[in-house]
Amino acid sequence: MEHQSVKAQVMHVETFPGRVLVGPKKLGRIFVRIVSQRNGSGLIERYDQASSAWFPAPPTITFGDVWSAPDVPKLIWAELSPESAPESRSEPAKSRHRKPDR
């Protein structure tokens, strides 16, 4: 019997510490994501709505859990985390790019 090998080509994606690789995803009542670490591995984080910050997730949450969880729609995520939405810039920052009045 002849053995056949399967080859796969994977595009190289530049990673840097803190880069979001997967997510945000909804896992039950919490939001989770996977971010890259300095050594190239991934870290599972959970979102804390009270502080609007990400923290390491408990070890009971697995990478498989995160991968299989449904994505959080961008509109919903923008409402939950307004600072991450591109439209949330402050007014002074927007006005700097306005043309001067004549």
> Is residue 86 pLDDT above 70, yes or no?
no
pLDDT in tens, 25-73: 999 999 999 999 998 899 999 999 899 899 999 999 999 999 999 999 8
Query: Residue 18's pLDDT is what?
Result: 83
Query: Residue 17's pLDDT is what?
Result: 84
6 or 89: which carries more pLDDT confidence? Answer: 6
Terminal Cα-to-Cα distance of the chain (whole angstroms): 82
Gap between the Cα atoms of 82 and 68, Å rounded: 25
Record the pTM. 0.65
Gap between the Cα atoms of 61 and 46, Å rounded: 10
Query: Residue 11's pLDDT is what?
Result: 54
What average pLDDT does this structure show over 14-35? 89
Alpha helices in 1-102 (DSSP H): 63-68, 74-80, 91-95
